[in-house]
Structures are given as C-alpha cells and as structure tokens.
Structure 1
Amino acid sequence: MPFNKLLKSYKDEIIQKTQELIQIKSVESSAKPNMPFGEGVDKALQYTLNLCEELGFETQNFDGYAGHADLGNSDDIVGVLVHLDVVPEGDEKMWKYPPYSATIENNRIYGRGAIDDKGPTIAAIYAMKALKESEVKLNKKIRIIFGTDEESGWECMNYYLKEVKPPQVAFTPDANYPVIYGEKGILTLDLEKKFVQMEKSHICIEYIKGGELSNMVPNYCEALLVLNEDIEKLYGNFQTLIKKLGYNIKLELNNNKLLIKSFGIFAHALEPQKGINAISQLMILLSNFTFSETINDFFSFYTNKIGMQVDGENLGCKMEDKESGKLTLNVGVINLIRDKVTLTFNIRYPITKTDKEVVKKINETIKNEDITLEVKKIYYPLYIPKDSKLVKTLSSVYKNLTNDNTEPLTFAGGTYARALSNAVAFGAVFPNEEIMAHQVNEYINIDSLLKNAQIIATAMYELSNN
C-alpha cells in the first residue's frame, strides 16, 4: 500500500510528537472552567487537536471532555478511540528517567503514557495522515476520538456520546495484539467499616492512607500511630516483625508517634499478580498488634479474607470460565481516618459471569463482619463474536503485516471498546512484549510504535472499504 511507504518517511516526526505528548503531565486534577479534568489533561487535548489541524484534519473539541479529528465526508464512520489522560507516576525516585522526560534509550521512549495511550495516539494520527497524503480511496469517514478520562471514570466518553452519533465500527489501540474480542467485566466497589478507638489502648491510629486509583496495584501506603506505652519495646517489636515478614517497610519514630511506610510495586489491576500491594503488606503487619477491639477485628478480617491474594478465594468470589480465565482482585485504595475505614477494590470478573454473582458472594462473606459494601462502578463484559466481520477483518490485517497467526484473545483490561456496540481492542502491545501500562519505567519500543502506525493505517483503510 502506498501509505505504508509514506509512514516510513514520518519516522522522525512520529518519534518527536510522541515525546512532546508524553512530556505533558496529563494526570487528572481539579476541574476548571472548560477543563473538566484539570489543566494537564486539557493541555494534552489542545496539543493533540492542534496537531491534527496542522496536518489538515477537521477537528472538534467537546467542551474539554473529548475531541475528534476527521478524514473524509461520508456519513458512515470508522472510529479509532484513544485516550490522552494517564495514571499518576507514583514515586519518581523509582523511575530510571523522569516520568515526563520522554527520554530515548535502547530504541525505547520512556515516560508515563508512552504505551498507555500516547504512543498509540500519535501512531493513529500519522496513520490517518498517511492515508490522506497517499490519496487512497476511502468509502467511509475515518475519525479518531480523543478521550480524556479513561483512567478514572469515562465521564469523557459518556459526554461525547451524548453529543455525537457513534461510529458504526471502531477499534482502540489500547490493549494487546492480535484482536481482543472479549473483555472481562470490571467492578469497582467500596468496603466500609466503622469503629471506635479506645483512649487507653497501647496503640492508637491517627490515619492510614494508601493508593491513588483502584485500577493500580498501590506501591505506597502509610500509617501514623500513637504509641501510648512501652514505646521502645513496641518500636523494637515492629522492627523484628518487619524483618521476619520480609516486606519493604520503613519506620520513623518521633517522640511517641510512629510513621510506618510500606513500599510495594506498581502493576496494572488487570494483572495484580505482577505487583506487590503496599496496602496488604501494611495490613498484615498491623494485624499482629493490639488496638481497640473493632480495629483488631478489621485487621483480622483483612488478613484472613484478603491478605496478599489476588483471586478473591478467601473473600468468597473466586471464579473462572473457559473464555476469559480467572477473576482477579486488587485493593487499590485505603483511607482510615478517625472512626471509619474504606477500602476500594477493582475486580475483573469472567465474561460469562455477572456483577451480581460477584457482589452476592462477597456479601455472604462479610455478613457477620459489620462491613458494608457499596458498588461504585460497573463496566459490563464485552463480547464480539470471533466470526464477526470486524474481528475477521482486523485479524487479517494483523496476520498479513506480522506473519503471526495467533488467534483473537480475551483479556482482563477495560477499554473504550465497551462504550460502543461494534468495537474491539486492537493493539498496541505485541505478543511477547512486556506489558508496561501503569508500570514504573513505562516505555514504548520505537520499532513497535512505527509498526503500530502501519497496522492502524491498514486497519483504517480495510474497514473503510469493507
């Protein structure tokens, strides 16, 4: 195809624009006028739409919630959905390079959002440029849709789809290759317990806080304790137990106040087994000490029913199916202040199961624990038949350009494909590549970035003429 030759000539520009977009810290922050998700996210949206205008595409900004860029005039639309927001970078000291530096080393561009989803976004934009410049015939309009709240709540897509007729067919380069025809259901829920702290307890808790988003394995959690008696003895007991447990936990004693810092390892909640949960480490440590009765009950519950498990077995919700595998569970956030503790979970459940089944099983486990459960968000499973025209077309594109005959897959991630009736995830991570989304030292391989542009361009062309 002539557009593939053009794409090769764009290499330096694709790399440069990917770096520039990564260098915008587009983590959601406080809303401002016409900036519903804060200045950083809006800056990324403005940058992207300006780039698309410079390349000759028609663009539209939907009040800062989303935007799109169009090629062609047909009423029939092929959509490519990408997102410009990123998860927080966490502890910068753990990064090899500053997370928004977009440093290049060993043919990789490092930075938060490199693979999720800024590299694929630039690849899609230049794929569309190649189609435009090559003047190939397109029977349908190509539209890239830029979301801005994918990592936090999808308000962007909800707003956008109220304003615009959705594309008839679409894909999102925000997962893995080959085609992802099924996505697990995603359930975000809070468990809450109220308690009282006894003034005469040896140890009182001022607060426990950890985690930033439910869809990230938290790499940090801290607790501030007040030691009312036997300060040196208790401090020594904490040191001894930390050594025994083998956890990365640090202590800072200031008079009678003990700050406990638990360090874990980031991972995406779709694969929590690849991380180390800093919240769970801290809960297990604290469960070995004596607080007020209701707090002790909470620590005991956490240790016995959750602990370091990621499959929900002790919480009663372990399940799996042949199509999509096992349920996964991640405790993403904890907030304990005064008389209440809230845990926020991210659960990925099999595509043949339901959110009601999961919630029922957890409620059966907690019914005698004085713990309440509140469902915060549900993303229902996605399933597009493997023999559908969309899946078959994208599979053919991938196989022809890679000589890889891997069959379409299901996975535990959650993509914008769920927002539409005929959409799937397609790319951007190739088989045998590391999954670096939400990880420290996130990167995209430059060769993979350019290959993505080629695959996306071909997919756009084939879907528009199919």
Structure 2
Amino acid sequence: MELNKKIDEMKEELIKSAQEVIKIKSTLDGEKPGMPFGEGVGKTLDKALEIAADLGFNTYKEEEGYYGYAEYGKGDDYVAVLGHMDVVPEGDNWIHPPYAAEIHEGKIYGRGSLDDKGPTMAALFGLKAIKELKIPLSKKVRVIFGTNEETGSSEMKVYNKKEKVPVSGFTPDAMYPLINAEKGIRRFHIVKDLNPSEGKIKIKSLKGGIRPNMVPDKCSTVIGTKDPDGIVKAVKDFAGKKGYNMKTETADGDVVLHTFGVGAHGSMPEMGKNAVMQTFEFLGTIIGGPSPLAEYINFFNKYVGFETEGTSLKIACEDKPSGKLSWNVGVAEINDKKADLWIDMRYPVTADGEKIMDTVSMEFAKCGAKIEDVKADKPLYFPEDSKLVKILLEVYKEQTGKEGKAYGIGGGTYAKELSNIIGFGPIFPGKPDLDHQANEYIEIEDLIMNAKIYAHAIYELAK
C-alpha cells in the first residue's frame, strides 16, 4: 500500500490545490483571446496546468485555450483521466461562500468541489504518487482538463480532432462503484404549422417548461373565448375531477390558464407530473371541430398522454444493462401559427436509435406533424465482463473493502465525450449527489480516498 501512504503524505498539498481551483469562478462567459469560454474558465485551466507543472508533470495547453493536460510516462498509447474545470452557476441559498473553498466540519465547500475540480485534483495527485514512487508503467498517462462540459462539451470536439484516442481510462464525473451503461439520447422538436382558428375557442398562446430534459412543472395558456365564465367553470370542474392544480384568471376578455405539475429530471419523467400534458388533456375537452391544432392536441393525448415509455407510439423497449426507454415532453410553445413541443427521449444501450426515430416520424406524420432539429447523443456501453469494468471494480473492492457492481443510467456523463473511457466515481454509495446544488461540498476524507482509488486505477490500467 505504498501508494496510499504516499497520498496520505501529500494530503495537505492536495487539499490546497483543490481549494486553489475551486476559488476561481469558472462559469461560461464571453469569449476572450485564448479563452473561448470566458476569463474564469481560462484562468482555472491555467491554474490547473500550473499546479501540474509544479508537481513535475509535462503539461500542454491547446493553442486556442480549449483544453490542457498533464502527462507522465512514455509511449504512443495513453490512459486518460478526463475531468473538467468549468462549473454551473452557483445560484442562491449557500451557507458558505461558493467560491471561497472554505473548510467546515471536514468538508470543502464550493462550486466544483465535487463536480469536477476536487476529484480531478485527486486523480492528478494519484498520478503524482505513482511518479514519486517511480512505479514503472508501460503506457503514458494523461490527466485532461476540460473546459466546457457543463454547456456542451464543445472543447472535446476540438480535442478529438487533434489528439489520439486513449486506449482506456475513466472520468471522475459519475458515481461509484461504476457506470458502464449510459442511454442514448435524442432531443427534437415535433412541429406542426397551424391556421388561425375561426371557432368559438382559440388558443392564443401556450408556454410550458424551460428545458427539454426537465419535466415541466408549469404551463400557461391564453384561451380566447366568447364565454370566459364557461371556460373558468370547465377548468374548475376538470381540475377537481382529475385532482390537478389548475388556476384561472381573466385578462382582456381572455382566460389565462395556469397549470402546475411536479418537476423531475428528463431521464426519470415518471417521477414528475407533466403540466404540459395536463393542459393538453384539458384542451382536448374544449376544442371542438376539426382543425390543425385539435388534430395535434388529440394525437398527443391519444398516443402520448402521461406515458413515459413510448408504449402507444410503438417505441417502448428495454434491456438489462440500462433499463427502459424514457420519453419526456419537456417544452411546449404554441401560437396561432405553429405548435412546437420539444422532446427528450432516452433509449436503451442495445436499441437502435435510428429505427426508433423512424417510427416516431411515421407516427407523428399521421397528424401532419414533422420532426425537426434532432440532437443525437449515442449510447455508451461497456459489458460487465469487459477488461476496463473488471479492472476498475476490482480496484474499488480492494480500496473500499466493498463489493461493487456496474450499473446503467438514463443521464450522461463526460465519458461519452472520449472513446474508451468510463464513469468512475467520485460519489460514494450513500453519499448525497450535490452536483449543481447549493452548498456543494466534498468531504476531505472522500477527496483523499478518491486519490487513492484513482492512483491504483491508473496503475492497473497503465502498468
């Protein structure tokens, strides 16, 4: 256990280095020369490279400032550790300053302490322990400092164009024991052109949701009608019957309907209550006569509704590694010219994403709607008997004394941005996932344990 002993000796230096990068606010900002994602992100990258150089590593910074890395060892093949130095905005309700990296009760508080600055420093010091002990490796090791994971990972597109693919590796952007399956994701718009309604009821506008990967918890609809009292009563009766939270107000002769649901992550839409689909269900009871909008709403009510697995659309599927397909109506925008719903669909790792999308397109063509602006994110899957999974789970077991099992998720980690790597830590089972939350912190004990696990993982992959 020489590696662990060496890491214990470097404990204070690791803590200090983690604090140094956490103290720099590195949210996305306006582009500057050599800083494509803003000054804060650029300064954090420079600080990470400075720390790596002080530890004795060879460092490299991409000429336009998209990424950097620290390297140790020789050879053409390399093992990669991919972390990111950018963070999401801090938000409100912090009990300690979000960029002070203060230590309270054995915890380092700060945005990025857990996602990903602290764990990336842990990996760097794990490699430092190998270097200090002069442990021989057969492959080069590269700790990569990404800069845009939180807002698109566009820096990795540059990296993948310029750099060779690693032979193996991991990202400290997940959870323990290990994530071996990440569903494929398709985000797209289902659009239909409309004609202004000439009937007694007109939907002047409908807006719900803020992001496709979130279950919308609010939806507001402006209903034009010659009988506002009748609409108000219909809403009250419908909401009472269904148990929905719906409120109305009148403005300039129109009825404004506010529907309140329950938000949830788009990868688990069954955990929420979709305010948009509740609104659609009501609108289906009051829109009479054939019209493009009625056809659109009625089709959604019949073939989507509150289903989150795509059963009526004939796309439901599941597999053992990653579970069931999920379907979330995340954002809705309707006016008198166009109906536009944004969908977040996540499909099992062994399913064919293109065939699923073909089915979706054919089904919605039946109501005159079309699919636009498809954003595709391929699935990631390492079988449980793959060498990378077996090595990392064995390291986890040896260092924690606990059996670990690989599992799949509906979300995505940084591992999808670089071939041959997998999500491994830093969050231990039973510990809170504080990524993107107020009062984000990493326990110092966990920071040190991560360094030990990552040191042994790097050695096993590169020995």
Q: Would the aligned equivalents of 1:86 and 1:113 in 2 still touch at CA under 8 Å?
A: yes
| Percentage of matched positions with identical amino acids | 38
120-129 or 227-236, larger mean C-alpha shift: 227-236
Q: Which residue of 2 aligns with 1:70?
A: 71
Q: Would the aligned equivalents of 2:203 and 2:336 in 1 still touch at CA under 8 Å?
A: no
Q: Which residue of 1 aligns with 2:378?
A: 380
Normalised by the size of structure 2, how large is the TM-score? 0.81
Within a 5 Å distance, the mapping from 1:74-85 to structure 2 comes to: 74-85=75-86
Q: Would the aligned equivalents of 1:221 and 1:282 in 2 still touch at CA under 8 Å?
A: no
Structure 1 residues 277 and 140 mapped into 2: Cα distance closer, same or farther (>3 Å)?
Answer: farther
Q: Would the aligned equivalents of 1:83 and 1:150 in 2 still touch at CA under 8 Å?
A: yes
Cα deviation for residue 420 of structure 1 reads 4.2
Q: Which residue of 1 aligns with 2:169?
A: 170
Cα deviation for residue 114 of structure 1 reads 5.2
Cα deviation for residue 56 of structure 1 reads 4.2
Structure 1 residues 308 and 49 mapped into 2: Cα distance closer, same or farther (>3 Å)?
Answer: farther
Structure 1 residues 8 and 221 mapped into 2: Cα distance closer, same or farther (>3 Å)?
Answer: farther
387-396 or 31-40, larger mean C-alpha shift: 31-40
Within a 5 Å distance, the mapping from 1:54-453 to structure 2 comes to: 54-62=54-62, 63-86=64-87, 100=98, 115-198=114-197, 201-206=200-205, 208-212=207-211, 214=212, 216-218=213-215, 220-223=217-220, 225=222, 227=224, 229-231=226-228, 234-235=231-232, 237-238=234-235, 241-242=238-239, 245-247=242-244, 255-256=252-253, 258=256, 260=258, 262=260, 264-267=262-265, 269-284=266-281, 286-290=283-287, 293-337=291-335, 339-374=337-372, 376-435=374-433, 437=435, 444=442, 446-453=444-451
Q: Would the aligned equivalents of 1:211 and 1:221 in 2 still touch at CA under 8 Å?
A: no
Structure 1 residues 455 and 251 mapped into 2: Cα distance closer, same or farther (>3 Å)?
Answer: farther
Structure 1 residues 282 and 10 mapped into 2: Cα distance closer, same or farther (>3 Å)?
Answer: farther
Q: Would the aligned equivalents of 1:217 and 1:277 in 2 still touch at CA under 8 Å?
A: no
Counterpart residue type for residue 61 of structure 1: K
Counterpart residue type for residue 174 of structure 1: D
332-341 or 360-369, larger mean C-alpha shift: 332-341
Counterpart residue type for residue 217 of structure 1: M
Cα deviation for residue 288 of structure 1 reads 4.7
Structure 1 residues 110 and 304 mapped into 2: Cα distance closer, same or farther (>3 Å)?
Answer: farther
Counterpart residue type for residue 223 of structure 1: S
Structure 1 residues 238 and 159 mapped into 2: Cα distance closer, same or farther (>3 Å)?
Answer: same
- Residues of 2 paired with 1:153 and 1:407: CA distance? 29
Q: Would the aligned equivalents of 1:111 and 1:442 in 2 still touch at CA under 8 Å?
A: yes
Counterpart residue type for residue 317 of structure 2: M
Structure 1 residues 100 and 364 mapped into 2: Cα distance closer, same or farther (>3 Å)?
Answer: farther
Three-state SS of the structure 2 residue aligned to 1:314 is coil
Cα deviation for residue 349 of structure 1 reads 1.4
Unaligned runs of 5+ in 1: none
Cα deviation for residue 398 of structure 1 reads 0.8
- Residues of 2 paired with 1:20 and 1:298: CA distance? 54
Cα deviation for residue 370 of structure 1 reads 1.0
Structure 1 residues 241 and 157 mapped into 2: Cα distance closer, same or farther (>3 Å)?
Answer: same
Q: Would the aligned equivalents of 2:78 and 2:141 in 1 still touch at CA under 8 Å?
A: yes
- Residues of 2 paired with 1:19 and 1:391: CA distance? 31
Structure 1 residues 240 and 65 mapped into 2: Cα distance closer, same or farther (>3 Å)?
Answer: farther
Unaligned runs of 5+ in 2: none
Quick check: which has more Rg, 1 or 2? Answer: 2
Structure 1 residues 207 and 181 mapped into 2: Cα distance closer, same or farther (>3 Å)?
Answer: closer
Cα deviation for residue 211 of structure 1 reads 1.9
- Residues of 1 paired with 2:105 and 2:250: CA distance? 43
